[in-house]
Amino acid sequence: MPVKKHQEASLKFQERAGIAFKDSALLETAFTHRSYLNEAKQGGRSGKPGAHNERLEFLGDAVLELIVTDHLFRAYPTSNEGELTSYRAALVNAVMLGDIAESLGVNDCLLLSKGELKDTGRARATILANAFEAIVGALYQDQGYEAASSFIERFVLSKMSDVLASGAWRDAKSAFQEFAQAKYALTPKYAIVRAEGPDHDKHFVVSVSVGEVMIAEGEGKSKQEAEQDAASVALAQQEA
């Protein structure tokens, strides 16, 4: 991507997000996928060797989880642990974060290899979600907890009313199990198709089958998240 075009996209993102980074190199790193550095065989545009976004993603994931958990704990005092966990999962899953990132123009800012640039659908959603977490980590590093919290409140926690209205927080695995047992008298089975990435940033693909028939696949940062995603896809297929 031409430098000028990338800089313009980065400025537009900051305008949409209502933030202004003091250290632009942090934001640059948040936009930089490992594949871009591997292909270029050089440091990121910030000039820092190995300046891809995985470390910032690791930090941002923790910051995001803490802020969302704290908000939900205070906002829903009568909800039990299981309900709060489901609320949080609906807010911070790859699909939700990927959609938020795309709405903010992150897709136009990403620095990717030529191969990754061709990714679409779920693969691109995962890249966008990871970049969103990296942005949270970068903002936390750049301006602290309050700035990160304000950003998350505006763009993630603001989705909570939609999550409740749509029922997206409900446990997809339980719902699909009820469906499969009622229609086929069988219990769904889940299997790991593949697990990729370093220990701190694993990416799982899981299949769900009923009997001998594979119904759907799902993705996530944990086996449990991927199973929930697979169940959600399976349910959507039954409703289609």
Least confident range of 35-49, 106-120, 138-152: 35-49
Question: pLDDT tens digits, residue range 125-137?
Answer: 889 999 999 999 9
208: closest CA among 225, 192, 184, 185? 192
Measured CA angle at 213 (ends 235, 206), to 5 deg: 65
Q: Which domains does the chain have, with CATH numbers?
A: 3-165 (1.10.1520.10), 172-239 (3.30.160.20)
Question: pLDDT tens digits, residue range 216-231?
Answer: 998 888 888 889 889 8
User: Quick one: pLDDT at residue 49?
Assistant: 46
Residues 6+ apart with CB under 8 A from 184: 210, 211
- Residue found under tokens 């229609």: 183
Radius of gyration of the chain (CA): 19
The separation between the first and the last C-alpha atoms of the chain, rounded to the nearest angstrom, is: 39
Residue 178 pLDDT greater than 60, yes or no: yes
227 is catalytic: no
pTM of the model: 0.76
The residue that leads in pLDDT, 151 or 1, is 151
User: E strands within 114-227?
Assistant: 189-196, 203-210, 213-220
The residue that leads in pLDDT, 123 or 185, is 185
**Catalytic pick from 54, 57, 133, 142?**
133
User: Quick one: pLDDT at residue 164?
Assistant: 86
Question: pLDDT tens digits, residue range 138-164?
Answer: 999 999 999 999 999 999 999 999 888
**Catalytic pick from 28, 61, 219, 227?**
61
Provide the pLDDT confidence category of residue 93 given band limits of 50, 70 and 90: confident
Provide the pLDDT confidence category of residue 180 given band limits of 50, 70 and 90: very high
199 is catalytic: no
> What is the Cα 54 distance to its own chain's centre?
13
Q: Check: CB of residue 17 under 8 Å from CB of residue 155.
A: yes
